Structure 1
Amino acid sequence: MSLVAQSLCLRSDAEYHLNDVCFEMSKGEIYTIIGRTLAGKTTLLKTIAGLIGPDSGDLTLDGRDFGRIPVWKREVAMVYQQFINYPHLNVYENVAFPLKQRGMARSEIRTRAMKALSQVGLGGFENRKIQALSGGQQQRVALARSLVKEANIVLLDEPLVNLDYKLREQLREEFKNIFSAKASENSILIYSSTDPVEAMQLGGQILVMDEGRILQQASAKEVYENPSTTKVSQITNDPAMNLFEGTVAEGKIILSSQIQLDLPQHCRTLPYGNYTFGLRAAEITLDASGFPFTVELSEISGSETFLHLKHEHIHVVGLLDSVQNFNTGETVTAKFDTTHLYSFANDGRLKSSPYGGMK
């Protein structure tokens, strides 16, 4: 089974919600659509579900025109951001509801509903009222109600975004196991998120989306190691990858009159000229052998500290793996680990990567 989109477009007035979207998705795989708010993720999921029709383009399932299949006949299940459950029904009744609507035999309904509840860790909760559940448990009920349909395609629209941080971390790992099991049943699972960490943890294939376009589709490992453009590097990292302008000349990367870096091995075939360079926050640390920067902001996040630094026109964020206090305007010396440096052409395309060499 394969789901194929070719040149899907949807616009409202002069604004594109989907802009020449193309992809191919195969059964037994997990796909994560990652993008910032208003990138078009929800619109794309609703288009697949049949809730929205594209202005142009084709969507096919195993070669059949998926767009011509009525919504109620599509083997598609969807989980939304909000906990959409029926408050007057208990947990079991919520999960069994879509099967009852199909007129299935009571014994089959019970078998499938109890299996779905077990999959999401709610075995023994079937008689609980929805109001008696925590937010995370309510989202599990919504997920179980989608899984119980045994649909060919399962869509999940940022299902963890409204949960607290600790619960999101817990459910990410549990969801990954659930999704892997579901994918092994030859379903296509499509998960949307704004969170790069979430996308990488789920693994599988990643589709990076921005302003209605798919910028890159590849494995999670490939997207992390070789982001195709500066835009992809920003979307798939938290904090966003540091980008700064520089010139390659005489074996050096010249960022300013004071900051000149030795060309790392993977950048030595770059022709002389101007580039945009990228470096993740973890590769910028404090070191006495580094370059002078002014602290613009110091952020403590758990056991880590993010330092927003400035040197002339260069603005970067560094990561310290400990809690430290700095004053705004304080001068520190920061070191760039160029073994992890990326270079991009003036049009934003990847030129060299510490993992993939020249592009």
Structure 2
Amino acid sequence: MALELRNVTKRVGAQLHIKETSLVLEPGHFNVLLGATGSGKTSLIKMMAGLDPIASGQVLMDGQDVTALSTQKRNISLVHQFFINYPHMTVYENIASPLKVAGMAKSEIEGRVEEAADILQLRPMLHRRPHELSGGQQQRTALARAIAKESRAVFLDEPLANLDYKLREELRDQLPELFAGRGAVVVYATSEPEEALLLGGKTALMQDGRVTQFGTTADIYRNPDNVAAARVFSDPPINTAPIVKQGTTARLGNDVSWSLTGAAADLADGPYTIAIRPYHVLPVATPLTTVQLSGQVQVTELSGSESSAHFDMGLDSDHGSWVSLSAGVHPYEVGEHHDFYMDPSAAYVFAPDGSRVA
């Protein structure tokens, strides 16, 4: 079973909210929609689920055009970031509710509910009501309902966003196993690049109502097609700056230059943009980090195992602030000038139109 979007668009008033989008989403792995808040992830999910009308295009499930079908007739499940359970029902009744609506036999309902409850470790809570559960248990109930229904497609719209850190890690690790081998197309929306990488599968990067790149998650992370994709798939934010290529030399600002190699050295002379992830910009020189940068430290963060520093190199307002992320503890002082060292071999090069050229 595949879920296909064929040239779908969405309008809000006169504004085109979702630009023309075509995707084929398949079972067997997670299909992640990754983008910042407002990028269009939830809108796209609602269109696939039949909750929002589409302005043009088609939605197909297993080759069947379901564009005009109601949500109920599409046999889908939707789990939101908010704990949506029926407050007057027990956990058992919440999990069983879509099965009862479908007119399923009582014995089959019992079997499915108990199986889903065992998978989500909810068996001791089956007779409780939602207000008697923790946030994690409530979200497990919503996930159990999706599993018990055995839907053709399952949409998870930032389902872990309102859980505490430990619970998020627990459920995130379990999610791929929960839906493995069930034959459903699983679509997972998130604003966190790390979450997309942990879930694996395939990822559609979204920005301003448009899919900027779609493919295997790890491949997109390593090989962004354009500067927009590189920006979406980086946390902390990827560092970007304008450079000028002259011969085999790249110049960044007035004081920084380095020799280009490989495909970058063969580019025509002229202006480009480089992008480099923060963990390739370190506070100490290494055999790879050979390009010295200098800037005023603006913000520092210490996670225990990593140190990050935001520093201003005095470039234009769109590119002046860069981030360094390194292992260990580094004694940064806000306001001080500090040297950092960049690995030029890890930098992506983009043409003025944003497309990647090296």
Interval of TM-score (by shorter of Structure 1 and Structure 2)? over 0.9
Measured in 2, the distance between the counterparts of 1:221 and 1:335 equals 26
Measured in 1, the distance between the counterparts of 2:346 and 2:167 equals 32
Q: What are the superposed Cα offsets for residues 199-222 of structure 1, whole Å, 9 maximum, x if unpaired?
A: 111111101111111111100011
Name which of 308, 313, 330 aligns with 1:306.
308
Query: Match of 1:322?
Result: 328
Measured in 1, the distance between the counterparts of 2:347 and 2:123 equals 48
Query: Match of 1:163?
Result: 163
* TM-score under structure 2 length normalisation: 0.93
Question: How far apart are residue 302 of structure 1 and its match?
Answer: 4.1
Query: Match of 2:267?
Result: 270
Which stretch has the larger CA shift, 37-46 or 318-327?
318-327
Name which of 341, 353, 357 aligns with 1:351.
357
Measured in 2, the distance between the counterparts of 1:75 and 1:57 equals 20
Question: How far apart are residue 177 of structure 1 and its match?
Answer: 1.9
Measured in 2, the distance between the counterparts of 1:326 and 1:199 equals 31
Question: How far apart are residue 258 of structure 1 and its match?
Answer: 1.7
Is 1:195 aligned to 2:192, yes or no? yes
Is 1:251 aligned to 2:248, yes or no? yes
Query: Equivalent residue of 1:329, what SS?
Result: coil
Alignment of 1:107-186 (within 5 A): 107-179=107-179, 181=180, 184-186=181-183
Query: Match of 1:69?
Result: 69
Query: Match of 1:261?
Result: 258
Which stretch has the larger CA shift, 298-307 or 69-78?
298-307
Measured in 2, the distance between the counterparts of 1:332 and 1:234 equals 25
Query: Identity over aligned residues, as a percent?
Result: 36
Query: Equivalent residue of 1:96, what SS?
Result: helix
Which stretch has the larger CA shift, 326-335 or 260-269?
260-269
Query: Match of 1:83?
Result: 83
Is 1:282 aligned to 2:297, yes or no? no
Q: What are the superposed Cα offsets for residues 165-217 of structure 1, whole Å, 9 maximum, x if unpaired?
A: 222122211112213x1xx2221000101111111111111011111111111
Question: How far apart are residue 317 of structure 1 and its match?
Answer: 0.5
Q: What are the superposed Cα offsets for residues 304-341 of structure 1, whole Å, 9 maximum, x if unpaired?
A: 22111122314210012223342222111110012211
Measured in 2, the distance between the counterparts of 1:123 and 1:339 equals 53
Contact 1:31/1:204, CA 8 A, preserved across alignment: yes
Measured in 1, the distance between the counterparts of 2:62 and 2:87 equals 38
- Stretches of structure 1 lacking an aligned partner (at least 5 in a row): 353-359
Query: Match of 1:332?
Result: 338
Contact 1:29/1:187, CA 8 A, preserved across alignment: no
Measured in 2, the distance between the counterparts of 1:98 and 1:292 equals 60
Measured in 2, the distance between the counterparts of 1:79 and 1:128 equals 20
* TM-score under structure 1 length normalisation: 0.92
Q: What are the superposed Cα offsets for residues 5-26 of structure 1, whole Å, 9 maximum, x if unpaired?
A: 1221111233222110111122
Q: How many residues align?
A: 349
Alignment of 1:4-19 (within 5 A): 4-19=4-19
- Stretches of structure 2 lacking an aligned partner (at least 5 in a row): none
